[in-house]
Structure 1
Amino acid sequence: MGLFSKQFANVVEWQEFREDMIFYKWNNDEIKKGSRLIIRPGQDAIFLYNGKIEGIFKDEGDYDIESQIIPFLSTLKGFKFGFNSGIRAEVLFINTKEFISKWGTQNAINIPAPNMPGGLPIRANGTFTFKVNDYVKLIDKIAGVKQSYLVEDVRLRIVAILDQLLMKWITKEGKDMFNLQANSFDIANGIRSDLDMQLFDSGLSVSGFTIMSFTYPEEIQKMINKNASFGMIGDMGRYQQAAMTEGISSGKVHGGGVASDMAGMMMGINMANQMMQNMNTPNSPANNSQTTPGSQSKPNFCPNCGTKTDGANFCSNCGHKLV
């Protein structure tokens, strides 16, 4: 297709420039005598003649095509503009910057996981970066049939194969399905390498790929949070005590006085039992204290409720002091 309108001079430039446009083809009928080429920062200009690259110009500036461009073109060095003659050629402008785009899984991906026959459904999101690195391949595969190309076009192409790549790299080397974020760096590096190979033939290079987060179903996320709480607190008994305390203090444990009273009583008994167990241990401060020769002996049964004391300082049932 010719590029420039039938007039004595044209301005060859990237019209209506967009930051998310990867390349743009200047389309008019032909280049006339006196035409100028304008290259702005972050742009390269490629002259094409009969589908073949004639010259690539990377320095920004305002150039006279006849005197400053034609002498450097491969097969058009001897071309002379006549009064009515022009060059039927194409000029392709390339955006040389590195592009960044967000991605996200369109649907949940069912990752094989132990004891889950249907797989573990997860979603993920993040960003990727890419740029043009091979003009010949770009023209051969894309620019030869398109007037322009957008970041969204690349994003759609990547998202179409991303589910398969996530499945591949998540399941590789037996990664923990319930703590994928810990392995997100390795997973992202593997995906970036595969995506780079997928876009290689199009003249594009994927320079970065990040995973910002993995998202589990709500019930799975609750289970993960609970397991994390168990690990932080250390044991089930302490977790139950902490959960009961939190429930009472937050008002979640209630019920007309009965439920909350019962919960408070249970917590009090547990705390008292724990206190007495600590006091009865050989190294506890109470047992390490010195006794006077005339100290009173401990009764075998609590004088208040009759519960066997087993040598304790306080009754394990009612808490009565035994000495």
Structure 2
Amino acid sequence: MNIRNLFRKQLRSVIEWKEQDSHILFHRMATSTDEIKNSSKLIVAPGQGCLLVYDGKVKATLTEPDTYELETDNHPFITTMLNLAQSMESEHKMRFYFFRTAELVNVLWGTATPVKYMEPNYKFPVALGACGNFSVKIDDAATMFSTLLATVNDYTSGDVRELVVSRIVAPLTAFLAEKAYPYTEVDKHLLELSTDLKARTTEELQRLGFILTDFRIDSVTFDDDTLLRIGKIADMTAEKQAAAEVDLDYVGVQKLGALRDAARNEGGLAGAGLQLGAGVQLAKDIFKTQETSETSTGTTPADVAVRLKQLKGLLDEQLITEEEYNKKKDEILEKL
């Protein structure tokens, strides 16, 4: 050790956290030496607190803005001279961990992986992701230091976000499994879900020295596979409802779909290899069962009305032409 460094170690220090980053919750202050001399000064500014660790133990937690005088067993020159056998190094070390006392607000969060549960209406597993924001503040710096930080120099808003998200997944999964909200109703229960997750997460964070002052779920999203499966069901339901309007059964729905797809191809029905009259043939196929039944029971005005309604539905869907519609209509009316 040169004379200059030896002399610098004998000076009393003034320790303060001058450049406080708004994203840092906990910060170990680097000093020129850990052998802080007796009667050195510590400045704690508004919005800050400081944890004093002396001889490996938490000596004090200071939260009031003030200038504090430090008491140590290190005295200028005397302590150094008494430790010649230890290379003039004192065993009495003091370290300073500054922390933010103000609330950290509107920290954005989102689940890293989707949470799965059984959808009660569709009867298949769905995967849901959630995102929102939360606010947090340090409640017990000493507990936080001993249970969470250890040798960490800086603990940031990004670190607390990872901590909160890691504690959310399990209670979120349990909540959704218990409530099993239908796909269409999840958004209605975001407030209830937020309240439940805050209560469950608060207890865990308090054990680590934090207070969760606010927690919100802003939105939920379902994964692509879930949306695809539900989309297919919705399409089939719409087809079924449309078919019911013209009293078609499942076979009729399938034939309608096939002809509609063909009509949308380039070149229309002809481009799909369907000749003029394909619509009439479709109508014949749809009414085949009814015609067989009517052969044995006879045609009634009510039967004719139903068949005309079905035929009109094909025309409205543009699956048959006006000419085809008129031709088939005449055939139906001839049976009266």
- Shorter-chain TM-score: which interval? 0.5 to 0.7
Where does structure 2 lack aligned partners over 5 or more consecutive residues? 1-7, 80-91, 247-262, 280-310, 318-328
SS at match of 2:126: strand
Structure 1 range deviating more: 106-115 or 79-88: 79-88
Alpha-carbon distance between aligned partners in 1 of 2:121 and 2:63, rounded to the nearest angstrom: 60
Q: What corresponds to 1:106 in structure 2?
A: 112
Aligned match of 2:155 in 137, 143, 149? 149
Structure 1 range deviating more: 175-184 or 187-196: 175-184
TM-superposed CA distance for 1:200, in Å, is 1.4
Q: Indicate yes or no: 2:54 matched with 1:49.
A: yes
Any idea what the Cα deviations from partners look like across 1:259-297, whole Å, max 9, x if unmatched? 89999x9779449xxxxxxxxxxxxxxxxxxxxxxxxxx
CA 1:217–1:89 in structure 2 vs 1: closer, same or farther (change >3 Å)?
closer
Any idea what the Cα deviations from partners look like across 1:66-124, whole Å, max 9, x if unmatched? xxx34xxxxx5xx7985436874333211122224332222232212348776212222
CA 1:34–1:24 in structure 2 vs 1: closer, same or farther (change >3 Å)?
same
Contact 1:6 1:29 in 2 (8 A): no
Where does structure 1 lack aligned partners over 5 or more consecutive residues? 71-75, 241-251, 272-303, 310-323
Aligned match of 1:24 in 4, 24, 27? 27
SS at match of 1:179: helix
Q: Indicate yes or no: 2:210 matched with 1:208.
A: no
Q: What corresponds to 1:296 in structure 2?
A: none
Q: What corresponds to 2:251 in structure 1?
A: none
Contact 1:230 1:239 in 2 (8 A): no
CA 1:210–1:228 in structure 2 vs 1: closer, same or farther (change >3 Å)?
farther
Root-mean-square deviation over aligned CA pairs: 4.5
TM-superposed CA distance for 1:167, in Å, is 0.9
Q: Indicate yes or no: 2:44 matched with 1:39.
A: yes
Aligned match of 1:137 in 136, 143, 146? 143
SS at match of 1:210: strand
More helix by share: 2
TM-superposed CA distance for 1:145, in Å, is 4.1
Alpha-carbon distance between aligned partners in 1 of 2:269 and 2:225, rounded to the nearest angstrom: 31
CA 1:270–1:118 in structure 2 vs 1: closer, same or farther (change >3 Å)?
closer
Alpha-carbon distance between aligned partners in 1 of 2:244 and 2:331, rounded to the nearest angstrom: 30
Q: Indicate yes or no: 2:3 matched with 1:10.
A: no
Contact 1:25 1:93 in 2 (8 A): yes
Alpha-carbon distance between aligned partners in 1 of 2:220 and 2:245, rounded to the nearest angstrom: 27
TM-superposed CA distance for 1:192, in Å, is 1.3
1:95 partner letter: R
Any idea what the Cα deviations from partners look like across 1:179-214, whole Å, max 9, x if unmatched? 312111111211111111111111111222222222
Aligned match of 1:256 in 267, 276, 293? 267
Q: Name the TM-score, length of structure 1 as normaliser.
A: 0.60
SS at match of 1:8: coil
2:49 partner letter: D
Alpha-carbon distance between aligned partners in 2 of 1:85 and 1:115, rounded to the nearest angstrom: 80
Q: Which residues in structure 2 correspond to 1:82-97 (within 5 Å)?
A: 83-84=76-77, 88-97=93-102
Q: Indicate yes or no: 2:177 matched with 1:171.
A: yes
Alignment identity in percent?
20
